[in-house]
Every structure is written in C-alpha cells, then in structure tokens.
Structure 1
C-alpha cells in the first residue's frame, strides 16, 4: 500500500535556518544553473552575507584598502570580536578569513542616514529576481542621494 503525503515546504524548527538549493544541467545547451533560497533569515545574517560578498568582490577586483561601513552595529561588533553572536557560524568564519587576507580593511558603524544610497539599492532589489546584479551606471531615482553625498564632501 502506498501512502500519499502532501509535498510542501516545511518551516524549520525555531532557531534553525532553512536553506534550499538545487542544480540543473542542460547538456544540449552546455549550461549549468543553480538556485538557492534562504528562509527565515534575520537581518543580522543577511547583513553578514552582504558584507562577505562585498569583501570578496572587492578583493577580486584588486582593491587592497577598504573602508567597510554598515548601519548594522551588531555586525560591526561581531567582526571586531566584541560580540559572540553567531560565533562559530560559517558566515562569520568566512568573513574573518577574508579580513585576514593581505589587505587593510577598516570596519565601522555608520547610521542609516549616512547609508542612504545602499539602503535605497537594497530596497530597490526587493522586487528583483534572485541573483547578483552589477550596475555600470546609477539606476534611475538614485541620483538625488548621490548628489547629496557629494555635497557633503
């Protein structure tokens, strides 16, 4: 006898993060595609992933002196070793490995009001498809914020 069960996504237990991944090979097109979803991700975890990806991208572009600014104070405290939140987590370990590369990275907290351009970009991507987007020119609508930052110099 065969038992039928509902096939659906199941929420992880409290305190756990569920990550779903999948890969596909299209042999006729000689392509591979991957996808992933992180659910029940808190703000701190998302911020740390953003920090990781921006550091990695900066390194790959050849920059060796970085001022990393974030409006998430807890992530700064973690990276400076003041907080033990998420200690032992792979994202924190990965960021610390990046920070140990042969470069100078200054990590500092700034207020959200000092981070309006990035805040705007993060909000803009809420409705975008999942994936990395590399912008060559500033998107429409962000120019006033960039002009404001320039006026403060």
Structure 2
C-alpha cells in the first residue's frame, strides 16, 4: 500500500499516465487568471508534415481579448512548432501592451525547458534563452504547464487551422464558432 501511494504521488507530480491502468477522466475547465493578469493559452498540432497552432488571450473575467490560429507546412518537429506558437503568444501579448501575463501550454517539455533554461546548450536551448528574454520584458510573467483538458479551446483552434488550412488573427470581435468554443469551456 505504501509503495502504491508513493507511485500515485510520483505519477501526479511528474504527470505520468499509465496507459495500462484505466484513466478516470474528470472533465476540467479553463481557470481564470488572478485579477490584473491576462492568460495566454497556446497549443500546436503536427500531422502529415503540416502544423496548426492556436493562441487565445483572456482576461481575469474570462473575456477574450484576442487570439490567432495558423497553418504552416514542413516544420522540423513538434517542439519547434510549440516554440513558434509560444513566440506568437508572446508577440500578441506585447502588441496589446499587457504587463501581467500567464502563459499556459500543455507541452511539458517546452514548459520545463523554459523553467530550466540556463542548462540547455542545444540549438533548441539557445532559442529557449531568447524566448525567456522576451518573457522577462513583461512586468510580471509566468509560464505554466496546463493539462490538455484545460486547454480545449486552443486545441480546437489548432484543428480548425489544420482543417481549413487558414491563418486568422482576431481581437474583441471574432468568429461565432470560436465564441461557441469559449462559451462551452466556461461552464
């Protein structure tokens, strides 16, 4: 029993999912940021050498302030697509002149690299250091891992970009299908 409790704790701590054991899924919703903060959620998907990405920015009341979806081809790996998506989110937040921002992604490896960016000497690590410098320009900013269940809107935006091979940026006025995704994620 003690071993099992320790294994469960480690699994939660490191977000390890054992595919052999049944997974009890508790539907999770997006959480509002603290008052005065903006939350930038990002995701990317790669399929058949094509990629789609999605970024959405919401305030502490859950209102959408802006976002974008995009479609690209022939990128080297999922990690690079996730990094490009993060840069897109940072650029959007800077263009709105937000000072207090929380960036959320369900890409564990990128979030971990951003939190430990001094020890990575690879090409990817060099890019991470550049991105960390961009993040440090905000008055207050944080990068967080978010479970896929809490990142549903941008996941759907990625699918929309891939399905329609489209690029779209939006601010306060945005398509009704995106509005529906945000509403469904709020309840």
Q: Answer yes or no: same fold by TM over 0.5.
A: yes
Q: Does 1:107 align with 2:143?
A: yes
Cα pair distance change 1:145/1:128, threshold 3 Å: closer
Cα pair distance change 1:138/1:97, threshold 3 Å: same
Task: Answer whether contact 2:102 2:142 (CA < 8 A) is retained.
Answer: yes
Work out the CA distance in 1 between the residues paired with 2:121 and 2:109: 10
Give 1:75's match in structure 2, choosing from 97, 100, 110.
110
Q: How many equivalent pairs are there?
A: 114
* Pairwise CA distance, 1:147: 1.7
* Pairwise CA distance, 1:129: 4.7
Matching residue of 1:34: none
Give the TM-score of the pair, scaled to structure 2.
0.52
Matching residue of 2:177: 141
Matching residue of 1:55: 90
Cα offsets for 1:92-122 (capped at 9, x unmatched): 2321110221421111111111001000111
Give the TM-score of the pair, scaled to structure 1.
0.62
Task: Answer whether contact 1:66 1:106 (CA < 8 A) is retained.
Answer: yes
Cα pair distance change 1:102/1:74, threshold 3 Å: same
* Pairwise CA distance, 1:80: 0.3
* Structure 2: stretches of 5+ with no match in the other structure: 1-71
Work out the CA distance in 2 between the residues paired with 1:129 and 1:97: 32
Cα pair distance change 1:124/1:83, threshold 3 Å: farther
